[in-house]
Amino acid sequence: MKIAMIGTGYVGLVSGVCFSDFGHEVICVDKDPAKIEKLENGQVPIYEPGLEQLMAKNVEAGRLSFTLDLTHALQDADAVFIAVGTPTRRGDGHADLTYVMAAAEEIARTADHYIVVVTKSTVPLGTNRQVKQTIRKTNPNLDFDVASNPEFLREGAAIDDFMKPDRVVVGVQNERAAEVMAEIYRPLYLREFPIVTTDLESAEMIKYAANAFLATKITFINEIAALCERVGGDVKEVARGIGLDGRIGNKFLHAGPGYGGSCFPKDTKALARIGQEHAMPMQITETVIKVNEEIKRRMIDKLLDLSGGSFNGKTIAMLGVTFKPNTDDMRDAPSLTIVPALVGAGAKVRVVDPQGRNEGDALLPGVVWFDDPYKAAQNADLLVVLTEWNEFRALDLKKVAKKMATPRMADLRNIYSAKDAKRAGFDAYDSIGRPAFHKDA
Protein backbone atom coordinates (compact mmCIF):
# COMPACT_ATOMS: atom_id res chain seq x y z
CA MET A 1 0.00 0.00 0.00
CA LYS A 2 1.06 3.60 -0.57
CA ILE A 3 0.39 5.91 2.37
CA ALA A 4 0.74 9.66 2.86
CA MET A 5 1.07 10.86 6.46
CA ILE A 6 0.26 14.54 7.05
CA GLY A 7 2.05 15.73 10.17
CA THR A 8 5.40 14.58 11.58
CA GLY A 9 4.66 15.20 15.24
CA TYR A 10 4.57 12.41 17.77
CA VAL A 11 1.61 10.47 16.34
CA GLY A 12 2.37 11.10 12.67
CA LEU A 13 6.04 10.21 12.81
CA VAL A 14 5.65 7.09 14.94
CA SER A 15 2.72 5.88 12.81
CA GLY A 16 4.51 6.62 9.54
CA VAL A 17 7.67 4.82 10.60
CA CYS A 18 5.75 1.80 11.88
CA PHE A 19 3.56 1.56 8.76
CA SER A 20 6.72 1.56 6.64
CA ASP A 21 8.05 -1.26 8.81
CA PHE A 22 4.88 -3.19 7.93
CA GLY A 23 6.15 -3.05 4.34
CA HIS A 24 4.06 -0.14 3.06
CA GLU A 25 5.51 2.78 1.09
CA VAL A 26 5.08 5.83 3.33
CA ILE A 27 5.70 9.50 2.61
CA CYS A 28 5.50 11.83 5.61
CA VAL A 29 4.49 15.42 4.89
CA ASP A 30 5.05 18.54 6.97
CA LYS A 31 4.94 22.29 6.39
CA ASP A 32 8.00 22.94 8.54
CA PRO A 33 11.12 22.96 6.31
CA ALA A 34 13.46 22.71 9.28
CA LYS A 35 11.70 19.58 10.55
CA ILE A 36 11.75 17.90 7.13
CA GLU A 37 15.44 18.73 6.73
CA LYS A 38 16.19 17.14 10.10
CA LEU A 39 14.23 14.02 9.22
CA GLU A 40 15.95 13.72 5.84
CA ASN A 41 19.26 13.88 7.72
CA GLY A 42 18.16 11.05 10.00
CA GLN A 43 17.47 13.26 13.02
CA VAL A 44 14.33 12.54 15.05
CA PRO A 45 12.77 15.75 16.50
CA ILE A 46 11.20 13.91 19.45
CA TYR A 47 12.59 11.47 21.98
CA GLU A 48 11.07 8.01 21.69
CA PRO A 49 13.15 4.90 22.44
CA GLY A 50 13.97 2.93 19.28
CA LEU A 51 12.36 5.37 16.84
CA GLU A 52 15.56 6.75 15.31
CA GLN A 53 16.89 3.28 14.53
CA LEU A 54 13.59 2.05 13.07
CA MET A 55 13.30 5.20 10.95
CA ALA A 56 16.84 4.77 9.57
CA LYS A 57 16.15 1.12 8.73
CA ASN A 58 13.06 1.91 6.65
CA VAL A 59 14.56 4.97 4.95
CA GLU A 60 17.47 2.78 3.87
CA ALA A 61 15.02 0.15 2.61
CA GLY A 62 13.34 2.78 0.44
CA ARG A 63 9.94 2.48 2.13
CA LEU A 64 10.00 5.77 4.05
CA SER A 65 10.62 9.33 2.90
CA PHE A 66 9.83 12.91 3.89
CA THR A 67 8.60 15.89 1.90
CA LEU A 68 7.10 19.37 2.01
CA ASP A 69 5.14 18.60 -1.19
CA LEU A 70 1.66 17.15 -0.59
CA THR A 71 1.10 16.64 -4.33
CA HIS A 72 4.11 14.33 -4.45
CA ALA A 73 2.95 12.48 -1.33
CA LEU A 74 -0.57 11.90 -2.65
CA GLN A 75 0.51 10.60 -6.04
CA ASP A 76 -0.88 7.05 -6.34
CA ALA A 77 -1.54 6.97 -2.56
CA ASP A 78 -4.18 4.50 -1.36
CA ALA A 79 -4.74 6.39 1.89
CA VAL A 80 -3.78 9.70 3.46
CA PHE A 81 -3.62 10.01 7.24
CA ILE A 82 -4.28 13.30 9.00
CA ALA A 83 -2.03 13.34 12.08
CA VAL A 84 -1.88 17.02 12.97
CA GLY A 85 -2.25 18.65 16.37
CA THR A 86 -5.63 19.18 18.04
CA PRO A 87 -4.64 21.33 21.04
CA THR A 88 -7.13 22.55 23.61
CA ARG A 89 -8.78 25.67 22.25
CA ARG A 90 -8.38 28.75 24.40
CA GLY A 91 -11.51 29.91 26.15
CA ASP A 92 -13.82 26.91 25.81
CA GLY A 93 -11.70 23.79 26.38
CA HIS A 94 -12.71 22.22 23.04
CA ALA A 95 -10.22 20.55 20.71
CA ASP A 96 -8.96 23.01 18.09
CA LEU A 97 -9.69 21.51 14.66
CA THR A 98 -8.06 24.27 12.63
CA TYR A 99 -5.17 22.08 11.44
CA VAL A 100 -7.41 19.09 10.73
CA MET A 101 -9.75 21.07 8.49
CA ALA A 102 -6.85 22.83 6.76
CA ALA A 103 -5.38 19.41 5.95
CA ALA A 104 -8.76 18.23 4.63
CA GLU A 105 -9.00 21.22 2.31
CA GLU A 106 -5.47 20.64 1.01
CA ILE A 107 -6.22 17.00 0.33
CA ALA A 108 -9.37 17.99 -1.59
CA ARG A 109 -7.43 20.47 -3.73
CA THR A 110 -4.57 18.05 -4.39
CA ALA A 111 -5.92 14.49 -4.72
CA ASP A 112 -6.94 13.32 -8.22
CA HIS A 113 -7.95 9.68 -7.67
CA TYR A 114 -9.87 7.51 -5.19
CA ILE A 115 -8.34 7.78 -1.75
CA VAL A 116 -9.28 7.01 1.84
CA VAL A 117 -8.83 10.02 4.13
CA VAL A 118 -8.03 8.71 7.59
CA THR A 119 -8.18 10.86 10.72
CA LYS A 120 -5.43 9.74 13.09
CA SER A 121 -5.58 12.87 15.27
CA THR A 122 -7.75 12.76 18.38
CA VAL A 123 -10.92 14.59 17.38
CA PRO A 124 -14.38 15.24 18.90
CA LEU A 125 -17.46 13.34 17.79
CA GLY A 126 -18.67 14.36 14.37
CA THR A 127 -15.26 15.57 13.15
CA ASN A 128 -14.87 12.88 10.50
CA ARG A 129 -18.22 13.85 9.04
CA GLN A 130 -17.03 17.47 9.03
CA VAL A 131 -13.88 16.35 7.22
CA LYS A 132 -16.04 14.64 4.62
CA GLN A 133 -18.20 17.74 4.17
CA THR A 134 -15.14 19.97 3.87
CA ILE A 135 -13.57 17.78 1.19
CA ARG A 136 -16.86 17.42 -0.69
CA LYS A 137 -17.41 21.20 -0.62
CA THR A 138 -13.86 21.97 -1.76
CA ASN A 139 -13.79 19.34 -4.52
CA PRO A 140 -17.23 17.90 -5.40
CA ASN A 141 -15.74 15.60 -8.05
CA LEU A 142 -13.20 13.80 -5.86
CA ASP A 143 -13.81 10.08 -5.29
CA PHE A 144 -12.97 9.40 -1.63
CA ASP A 145 -14.04 7.91 1.68
CA VAL A 146 -13.25 8.94 5.24
CA ALA A 147 -12.18 6.72 8.10
CA SER A 148 -11.46 7.24 11.78
CA ASN A 149 -8.38 5.48 13.19
CA PRO A 150 -7.57 6.88 16.65
CA GLU A 151 -4.16 6.14 18.16
CA PHE A 152 -3.49 4.54 21.53
CA LEU A 153 0.26 5.03 21.84
CA ARG A 154 1.96 5.45 25.19
CA GLU A 155 4.89 7.82 25.03
CA GLY A 156 8.04 5.89 25.85
CA ALA A 157 6.53 2.63 24.57
CA ALA A 158 4.95 3.79 21.31
CA ILE A 159 6.65 1.41 18.89
CA ASP A 160 5.73 -1.65 20.92
CA ASP A 161 2.17 -0.33 21.28
CA PHE A 162 1.90 0.10 17.50
CA MET A 163 3.39 -3.27 16.65
CA LYS A 164 1.63 -5.23 19.44
CA PRO A 165 -1.56 -3.28 20.12
CA ASP A 166 -4.26 -4.17 22.62
CA ARG A 167 -6.59 -3.34 19.76
CA VAL A 168 -6.83 -1.29 16.56
CA VAL A 169 -9.97 0.82 16.17
CA VAL A 170 -11.24 1.64 12.67
CA GLY A 171 -14.38 3.65 11.96
CA VAL A 172 -15.76 3.52 8.40
CA GLN A 173 -18.96 4.12 6.46
CA ASN A 174 -18.71 1.44 3.78
CA GLU A 175 -17.01 -1.80 2.78
CA ARG A 176 -14.72 -0.12 0.25
CA ALA A 177 -12.99 1.95 2.93
CA ALA A 178 -12.97 -1.03 5.31
CA GLU A 179 -11.07 -3.11 2.74
CA VAL A 180 -8.39 -0.44 2.34
CA MET A 181 -7.96 -0.16 6.11
CA ALA A 182 -7.85 -3.96 6.44
CA GLU A 183 -5.04 -4.10 3.91
CA ILE A 184 -3.10 -1.39 5.72
CA TYR A 185 -3.36 -3.31 8.98
CA ARG A 186 -2.97 -6.74 7.34
CA PRO A 187 0.21 -7.61 9.31
CA LEU A 188 -1.76 -7.23 12.53
CA TYR A 189 -4.74 -9.18 11.18
CA LEU A 190 -2.40 -12.05 10.31
CA ARG A 191 -1.01 -12.06 13.85
CA GLU A 192 -4.59 -12.02 15.23
CA PHE A 193 -4.44 -8.74 17.11
CA PRO A 194 -7.98 -7.45 17.79
CA ILE A 195 -9.30 -5.11 15.09
CA VAL A 196 -12.47 -3.22 16.08
CA THR A 197 -14.26 -2.10 12.91
CA THR A 198 -17.17 0.19 13.69
CA ASP A 199 -18.89 3.42 12.65
CA LEU A 200 -17.24 6.85 12.66
CA GLU A 201 -18.84 8.18 15.83
CA SER A 202 -18.14 5.05 17.85
CA ALA A 203 -14.48 5.12 16.83
CA GLU A 204 -14.21 8.76 17.88
CA MET A 205 -15.93 8.04 21.19
CA ILE A 206 -13.74 5.01 21.99
CA LYS A 207 -10.66 7.20 22.07
CA TYR A 208 -12.14 9.79 24.45
CA ALA A 209 -13.83 7.21 26.65
CA ALA A 210 -10.61 5.20 27.02
CA ASN A 211 -8.49 8.18 28.02
CA ALA A 212 -11.12 9.59 30.37
CA PHE A 213 -11.44 6.22 32.09
CA LEU A 214 -7.67 5.88 32.56
CA ALA A 215 -7.45 9.44 33.87
CA THR A 216 -10.23 8.55 36.30
CA LYS A 217 -8.31 5.50 37.58
CA ILE A 218 -5.21 7.63 38.21
CA THR A 219 -7.20 10.33 39.97
CA PHE A 220 -9.13 7.80 42.05
CA ILE A 221 -5.99 6.19 43.45
CA ASN A 222 -4.50 9.63 44.11
CA GLU A 223 -7.54 10.52 46.21
CA ILE A 224 -7.26 7.22 48.07
CA ALA A 225 -3.60 8.05 48.67
CA ALA A 226 -4.55 11.39 50.21
CA LEU A 227 -7.00 9.62 52.52
CA CYS A 228 -4.34 7.06 53.46
CA GLU A 229 -2.11 9.92 54.58
CA ARG A 230 -4.85 11.14 56.92
CA VAL A 231 -6.12 7.87 58.37
CA GLY A 232 -3.16 5.52 57.93
CA GLY A 233 -2.51 2.75 55.46
CA ASP A 234 -0.18 2.26 52.50
CA VAL A 235 -1.63 3.16 49.12
CA LYS A 236 0.73 0.73 47.36
CA GLU A 237 -0.77 -2.12 49.35
CA VAL A 238 -4.28 -0.78 48.72
CA ALA A 239 -3.61 -0.54 44.97
CA ARG A 240 -2.22 -4.06 44.94
CA GLY A 241 -5.21 -5.37 46.86
CA ILE A 242 -7.80 -3.87 44.55
CA GLY A 243 -5.75 -4.37 41.39
CA LEU A 244 -5.80 -8.14 41.83
CA ASP A 245 -9.55 -7.98 41.19
CA GLY A 246 -9.89 -8.87 37.51
CA ARG A 247 -12.73 -6.38 37.14
CA ILE A 248 -10.39 -3.54 38.18
CA GLY A 249 -6.89 -4.56 37.05
CA ASN A 250 -3.58 -3.24 38.33
CA LYS A 251 -2.68 -0.77 35.59
CA PHE A 252 -2.93 2.99 36.19
CA LEU A 253 -3.21 2.51 39.95
CA HIS A 254 0.13 4.10 40.80
CA ALA A 255 -0.31 7.10 43.08
CA GLY A 256 1.66 10.22 42.16
CA PRO A 257 1.56 13.99 41.70
CA GLY A 258 -1.26 13.98 39.13
CA TYR A 259 -1.49 13.05 35.45
CA GLY A 260 -0.07 15.16 32.63
CA GLY A 261 1.10 14.67 29.07
CA SER A 262 -0.29 15.25 25.62
CA CYS A 263 -3.46 13.16 25.91
CA PHE A 264 -5.23 12.96 29.27
CA PRO A 265 -5.47 16.71 30.05
CA LYS A 266 -6.53 17.61 26.51
CA ASP A 267 -8.92 14.72 25.98
CA THR A 268 -10.70 14.96 29.32
CA LYS A 269 -11.31 18.68 28.72
CA ALA A 270 -12.59 17.97 25.22
CA LEU A 271 -14.94 15.21 26.44
CA ALA A 272 -16.29 17.50 29.14
CA ARG A 273 -16.91 20.17 26.51
CA ILE A 274 -18.65 17.71 24.18
CA GLY A 275 -20.97 16.72 27.01
CA GLN A 276 -21.81 20.34 27.76
CA GLU A 277 -22.58 21.07 24.12
CA HIS A 278 -25.00 18.14 23.97
CA ALA A 279 -26.67 18.90 27.32
CA MET A 280 -25.24 15.73 28.80
CA PRO A 281 -22.63 16.86 31.35
CA MET A 282 -19.75 14.44 31.89
CA GLN A 283 -19.83 14.95 35.66
CA ILE A 284 -17.26 12.27 36.51
CA THR A 285 -14.82 13.59 33.91
CA GLU A 286 -15.33 17.18 35.03
CA THR A 287 -14.58 16.16 38.62
CA VAL A 288 -11.47 14.26 37.52
CA ILE A 289 -10.13 17.40 35.83
CA LYS A 290 -10.76 19.48 38.95
CA VAL A 291 -9.31 16.95 41.38
CA ASN A 292 -6.20 16.38 39.25
CA GLU A 293 -5.33 20.09 39.44
CA GLU A 294 -5.89 20.04 43.20
CA ILE A 295 -3.53 17.06 43.53
CA LYS A 296 -0.74 18.97 41.80
CA ARG A 297 -1.19 21.92 44.13
CA ARG A 298 -1.29 19.60 47.14
CA MET A 299 2.23 18.47 46.24
CA ILE A 300 3.43 22.04 46.82
CA ASP A 301 2.04 21.91 50.38
CA LYS A 302 3.86 18.63 50.96
CA LEU A 303 7.15 20.16 49.85
CA LEU A 304 6.48 23.24 51.96
CA ASP A 305 6.10 21.11 55.08
CA LEU A 306 9.39 19.36 54.37
CA SER A 307 11.03 22.76 53.83
CA GLY A 308 10.07 23.97 57.30
CA GLY A 309 7.24 26.23 56.16
CA SER A 310 9.20 28.40 53.71
CA PHE A 311 10.89 27.94 50.34
CA ASN A 312 12.71 31.26 50.49
CA GLY A 313 16.47 30.75 50.17
CA LYS A 314 16.15 26.93 50.15
CA THR A 315 18.03 24.84 47.58
CA ILE A 316 15.83 22.12 46.12
CA ALA A 317 17.08 19.32 43.86
CA MET A 318 14.30 18.22 41.49
CA LEU A 319 14.74 14.78 39.89
CA GLY A 320 12.66 14.64 36.73
CA VAL A 321 10.38 17.22 35.11
CA THR A 322 8.90 15.42 32.09
CA PHE A 323 5.36 14.16 32.66
CA LYS A 324 6.61 10.54 32.62
CA PRO A 325 9.91 8.71 32.01
CA ASN A 326 11.26 7.80 28.55
CA THR A 327 9.95 10.95 26.89
CA ASP A 328 10.96 14.58 26.50
CA ASP A 329 7.31 15.68 26.62
CA MET A 330 6.56 18.44 29.13
CA ARG A 331 2.94 19.07 28.19
CA ASP A 332 0.80 19.56 31.32
CA ALA A 333 3.50 17.89 33.44
CA PRO A 334 3.09 18.32 37.22
CA SER A 335 6.46 20.08 37.17
CA LEU A 336 4.89 23.02 35.32
CA THR A 337 2.69 23.64 38.36
CA ILE A 338 5.18 22.73 41.09
CA VAL A 339 8.51 24.19 39.95
CA PRO A 340 7.28 27.74 39.16
CA ALA A 341 5.63 27.84 42.61
CA LEU A 342 8.96 26.98 44.25
CA VAL A 343 10.93 29.49 42.19
CA GLY A 344 8.31 32.16 42.78
CA ALA A 345 8.56 31.60 46.54
CA GLY A 346 12.32 32.17 46.52
CA ALA A 347 13.69 28.63 46.19
CA LYS A 348 16.83 27.84 44.25
CA VAL A 349 15.74 24.93 42.10
CA ARG A 350 18.18 22.52 40.52
CA VAL A 351 16.78 20.17 37.88
CA VAL A 352 18.05 16.79 36.66
CA ASP A 353 16.21 15.10 33.78
CA PRO A 354 17.69 12.85 31.06
CA GLN A 355 15.53 14.42 28.31
CA GLY A 356 13.60 17.27 29.91
CA ARG A 357 15.89 20.16 29.07
CA ASN A 358 14.90 20.04 25.39
CA GLU A 359 11.55 21.64 26.24
CA GLY A 360 12.21 22.57 29.86
CA ASP A 361 14.67 25.38 29.14
CA ALA A 362 11.85 27.58 27.87
CA LEU A 363 9.12 26.28 30.17
CA LEU A 364 10.98 26.44 33.48
CA PRO A 365 12.81 29.77 33.68
CA GLY A 366 14.87 30.40 36.79
CA VAL A 367 16.09 26.82 37.36
CA VAL A 368 19.64 25.50 37.06
CA TRP A 369 20.13 22.30 35.07
CA PHE A 370 22.39 19.47 36.22
CA ASP A 371 23.37 16.19 34.54
CA ASP A 372 24.21 14.35 37.77
CA PRO A 373 21.72 13.85 40.64
CA TYR A 374 24.57 13.66 43.16
CA LYS A 375 25.92 17.04 42.09
CA ALA A 376 22.42 18.51 42.21
CA ALA A 377 22.05 17.22 45.78
CA GLN A 378 25.26 18.91 46.98
CA ASN A 379 24.31 21.23 49.88
CA ALA A 380 20.61 20.96 48.95
CA ASP A 381 17.88 21.36 51.57
CA LEU A 382 15.37 19.05 49.88
CA LEU A 383 15.47 16.28 47.28
CA VAL A 384 12.29 15.77 45.22
CA VAL A 385 11.63 12.72 43.01
CA LEU A 386 9.08 13.98 40.50
CA THR A 387 9.55 11.67 37.48
CA GLU A 388 10.47 8.01 37.93
CA TRP A 389 13.28 7.71 35.39
CA ASN A 390 15.27 4.49 35.82
CA GLU A 391 18.32 6.65 36.57
CA PHE A 392 16.63 7.73 39.82
CA ARG A 393 15.38 4.31 40.98
CA ALA A 394 18.66 3.01 42.39
CA LEU A 395 20.42 6.03 43.86
CA ASP A 396 23.00 5.55 46.60
CA LEU A 397 20.81 7.21 49.21
CA LYS A 398 23.59 7.27 51.82
CA LYS A 399 25.79 9.17 49.39
CA VAL A 400 22.93 11.58 48.62
CA ALA A 401 22.13 12.20 52.29
CA LYS A 402 25.77 12.97 53.13
CA LYS A 403 25.97 15.56 50.36
CA MET A 404 22.83 17.46 51.41
CA ALA A 405 22.75 20.38 53.81
CA THR A 406 19.54 19.03 55.34
CA PRO A 407 18.83 15.48 54.11
CA ARG A 408 15.11 15.48 53.40
CA MET A 409 13.29 13.73 50.59
CA ALA A 410 9.90 14.10 48.92
CA ASP A 411 9.36 10.91 46.92
CA LEU A 412 6.38 11.82 44.75
CA ARG A 413 6.57 8.57 42.75
CA ASN A 414 6.89 6.11 45.66
CA ILE A 415 10.08 4.49 44.36
CA TYR A 416 11.72 4.38 47.80
CA SER A 417 10.32 4.01 51.32
CA ALA A 418 10.57 5.66 54.72
CA LYS A 419 12.65 2.68 55.85
CA ASP A 420 15.10 3.17 52.95
CA ALA A 421 15.46 6.87 53.68
CA LYS A 422 15.85 6.44 57.43
CA ARG A 423 18.50 3.76 56.99
CA ALA A 424 20.41 6.03 54.58
CA GLY A 425 20.55 8.88 57.08
CA PHE A 426 17.77 11.18 55.91
CA ASP A 427 16.18 13.42 58.55
CA ALA A 428 12.77 13.37 56.87
CA TYR A 429 10.94 11.48 54.14
CA ASP A 430 7.49 11.80 52.66
CA SER A 431 5.82 10.11 49.72
CA ILE A 432 2.30 9.66 48.32
CA GLY A 433 -0.21 7.81 50.50
CA ARG A 434 2.37 5.93 52.57
CA PRO A 435 4.01 6.26 55.99
CA ALA A 436 6.37 9.24 56.35
CA PHE A 437 8.91 10.04 59.01
CA HIS A 438 10.54 13.14 60.45
CA LYS A 439 13.41 12.78 62.89
CA ASP A 440 12.16 15.69 65.01
CA ALA A 441 8.51 14.61 65.04
Q: Is 314 helix (H, G, I), strand (E, B) or coil?
A: coil
What's the CA gap between 406 and 439, in Å, rounded?
12
- Can you list the positions of beta strands (E) in 303-439? 315-319, 348-352, 368-370, 382-385, 408-411, 428-430, 437-438
228 counts as catalytic: no
Strand partners of residue 351:
318, 369
CB of 407 closer than 8 Å to CB of 425: yes
CB of 153 closer than 8 Å to CB of 162: yes
Torsion of Cα atoms, 178 then 179 then 181 then 187, to 10°: 130
The closest of 130, 124, 159 to 14, measured between CA atoms, is 159
CB of 331 closer than 8 Å to CB of 262: yes
CB of 100 closer than 8 Å to CB of 84: yes
Single-letter residue type at 259 = Y
Question: Rg of the Cα trace of the chain?
Answer: 24
Report CA-CA distances (Å) from 46 to 53, 249, 334, 391, 402.
13, 31, 20, 20, 37
From 18, 28, 228, 263, the catalytic residue: 263
Single-letter residue type at 239 = A
User: Any idea how long the chain is?
Assistant: 441
**31, burial (CB in 10 Å: exposed 0-12, middle 13-18, buried 19+):** middle
What's the CA gap between 311 and 382, in Å, rounded?
10
What's the CA gap between 216 and 290, in Å, rounded?
11
Report CA-CA distances (Å) from 167 to 5, 191, 203.
21, 12, 12
Q: Which residues are annotated as catalytic?
A: 263
